[in-house]
Amino acid sequence: MEPSFRKIEYSDYHKRYFDLLSQLTVAPVCNQDDFDSFVYDLTDNHIIFVLENDQNRIIASGTVLIEQKLIRNMGKVAHIEDIVVDKESNGKGIGKKLINKLTEYAKEQGCYKVILDCRDNVVPFYEKCGFVKKESEMALYF
Amino acid sequence: MEPSFRKIEYSDYHKRYFDLLSQLTVAPVCNQDDFDSFVYDLTDNHIIFVLENDQNRIIASGTVLIEQKLIRNMGKVAHIEDIVVDKESNGKGIGKKLINKLTEYAKEQGCYKVILDCRDNVVPFYEKCGFVKKESEMALYF
């Protein structure tokens, strides 16, 4: 059966979502009001798709941030962020299906490209998803 | 005199702004209603700073897109986009001052980091601005 991704919901707060995010990076549980406020503020241009398993646990998540530009005929660019699949669900192709879901969404929204930053060890994964290596990511931490 | 960057304004449409953007990439002039609508929709989380010279021409521009995350204690990340300095104004340090302006803005807004993607030939420039090389940018074009 194909995984059925859906938009994040308020009730995901109770579905071990922060356990999943903690597999990505430091992600302490926020309080529920802040979570609700975060979900409320999401829009068509800032959206999170998740996958829930049959034990009511979120096992995959990915964000799309859509940026309206002036260049390229007022083109729109989709930034993919914070891709994570639960380590116990690795090897089932969920990651690729999640990326396909996010890129399809970006296409429906009229974006001319999708970009993301990733570590070198997952470059081959994104190449299998149709991406090509472009520029270098630079970062400045405060 | 230090350059005085300011937020983009409706009247910048008439200040050769698209000539400047065309030095960055394909940037045909949009109609003024679309430009006004674009500027109107900008927020504290999607902001463009420009520099106007004394001939009423925009000679530098840079965008900051701020993303609210759940990870890292609901951290915020600033994405720097579409940095361009007019080629006739190169060598005056305007680029570095523009990046400083954008990173200072990101700091004021409470971001924990600023990221951007750039070509290898400008990596040394961003290193001088305090950035370090991180991951690889991947792109998928529709």
Given the cut 0.85, state whether the ipTM is greater than it.
Answer: yes
Three-class DSSP category at B125: helix
Which of these, B111, B115, B125, lies nearest to A137 by C-alpha position?
B115
Rounded Cα gap, residues B10 and B2, in angstroms: 24
- Could B117 and A123 be called an inter-chain contact, meaning their C-beta atoms sit closer than 8 Å? no
pLDDT value at A84 more than 70: yes
Separation between Cα atoms, residue A24 and residue A139, nearest integer Å: 18
- Cβ pair B38:A107 closer than 8 A: no
Q: How many Å lie between the alpha carbon of A54 and the closest alpha carbon of chain B?
A: 24
pLDDT at A1: 64
pLDDT score at B77: 98
Answer whether B139's CB lies under 8 Å from A134's CB: yes
The torsion angles phi and psi of A124, rounded to 5 degrees, stand at -60, -35
pLDDT at B1 (0 to 100): 63
Q: Which residues contact B118 (CB under 8 A, 6 or more apart)?
A: A135, A136, A138, B126
Checking if the pLDDT of A74 tops 80, the result is yes
Contacts with A45 (C-beta within 8 Å, 6 or more apart), sequence order: A65, A66, A67, A68, A109
- Residues B134, A139: C-beta atoms closer than 8 Å: yes
What mean pLDDT is predicted for residues A33-59?
Answer: 97
Q: Span A46-52, mean pLDDT?
A: 98
Tell me B25's DSSP state. S
pLDDT at residue A67 in the model: 98
* Distant-in-sequence, close-in-space partners of A47: CB < 8 Å, separation ≥ 6: A7, A63, A64, A105
Nearest beta carbon to residue A72 from set B25, B67, B70: B25
The confidence score (pLDDT) of residue A50 equals 98
Instruction: Return d(Cα A130, Cα B96) in angstroms, integer.
Output: 35
Please provide the size of chain B in residues: 142
Encoded amino acid at A22, one letter: S
Q: Which residues of chain B have pLDDT under 50?
A: none
Is the minimum CB–CB distance between B39 and chain A shorter than 8 Å?
no
Q: Which residue has the tokens 């930053």?
A: A117
Q: Which one of A39, A102, A112, A136 would you mutate to disrupt binding with B, by most B Cβ within 10 Å of its Cβ?
A: A136
Two structure tokens written together for B119: 């070509």
